[in-house]
Structure 1
Amino acid sequence: MYPPPHSHPYAPAPPPLRRWWQHPALIITLLVIFPPAGIALAWTSLWKKSQKIVATVLSGLWFLLSLLLQDPPEEDTKADRPTATASPSPTPTPTPTPSETEEVPVMPSLVGGAYASAEPIVTANLGRAYAAYKDVDLPAEYGTWLVCFQRPDAGAPVTSAVPVVYLTEPGVPCPASPNTVLHKPTPKPTPPPAPKPRPTTQPPTVAPEPEPTQEAVEEDVYYANCAAVRAANAAPIREGDPGYSRRLDRDGDGVGCEN
């Protein structure tokens, strides 16, 4: 056979024809969308070997990365979950107040009655009884004496203060206020003036006045209030001291002008 005309015996061979599946655009698209198919077509393409290796490595890494980033399928655990049953909320029990559980005792009205009827509540609350007149002492038995004043007043809680009552003997009217003097002291008679001595050559001898006795001093001592007691440097004044009176002892404990 003879070579065709116009052909050179040393001319290069023509490049192989490229099929439609060897198109670069198709291969690159499959390398991104579906790497296994894209890699297979890349090795059948007319690319250089180095290009095929690079395409295979990049597409393989992209395929593995897409598999790792996929979220695991959610398991249906609703069937396994126990159904929560709403439990009824407990009804709060009202706490009783002290006024509902127990009654606070109050002070009854004792004025006008005999001390025998008032003695139980007075002694039960550590109270005390005094004579309404400061110059009158209570006898050993004074259950028939009448109550003139009380502390605290009627209706007040007994626990707020220690009960105190002031008594007077039956037949004796109550004073206007506690610690009033019943028997006013009788004024002492004024002694007549001594006769004038006759003039003599010698000066008359004047007899010294007798010193007042302790009883007279105690009777003459009188303090209008605690300020007078403190001014006389006699505070605190106790029962039996000169000038002591129930008017100066407000709490009735036998010691006046304590503060």
Structure 2
Amino acid sequence: MYQQYQQPHSYAPQPLRRWWQHPALIITALILLPPAGIALAWTSRWDQKKKIIATVLSGVWFLVILLTPDSAKKSGDDAKSPAAVTTTAAPQSSAASAAPASAMPDVVGTPFAGAEKAVEALVDTELTALSAYADVTLPADHTTWVVCFQEPAAGAALASKSVPASVHLVAAGTTCPAEKGTSLKPKSTPKATPTPTPKPTVDEDASSSGGGGSVSYSNCAAVKAAGKAPIRRGDPGYGRHLDKDGDGIACER
């Protein structure tokens, strides 16, 4: 009898695959529980290259999962902060809405033309121009005149657009006064001229009346100024023109 010849298999039989070596299970574990997935991957029938790739990807994914809670917490805190700021700032917004929308600009030192544009942009009324000096008349064309004083003051809140505004001006190159309404050229008070005191005059020619001496007086005012009144006949300075009644005593009154 002849034995039956059996042709040998061309490949070795593959060992049975365990349930934990199933690719779907390993991939799921790599995603949901990376440490366990990496362990299963290295017990699987994958080649060396696939195992290394799976280990690297699962490790990176595991690090992302670990760092995500901190990032999420930080994002949550950042999200809460604007809400807190908004809540705190809400009263300020209400106060700001209740406050006036504009304030009086500072126009002192600027020409009237520029001041007019700045002020009339905020109010509906016209800017009133006045002279800063009481004795200076404001010309019809005062666009180049400079502002010295303004009403309302710079920075004052404008409650409405109907607030009246005015400025006091001086000509360009003129110094502003210390106060509005003062005079540029104050009137000077005339000084009283003192009345000169008549002085006795010395007459070299003695009076024909024999008054004696070389002193003569032009009138009784000069005699009184010299302290010689009354003056008698024979005294220095006596003269007939001083003795009106001819009794010999002159300037007795």
Structure 2 length normalisation: TM-score?
Answer: 0.34
Report the structure, 1 or 2, having the larger strand content. 2
Report the structure, 1 or 2, having the larger helix content. 2
Structure 1 length normalisation: TM-score?
Answer: 0.33
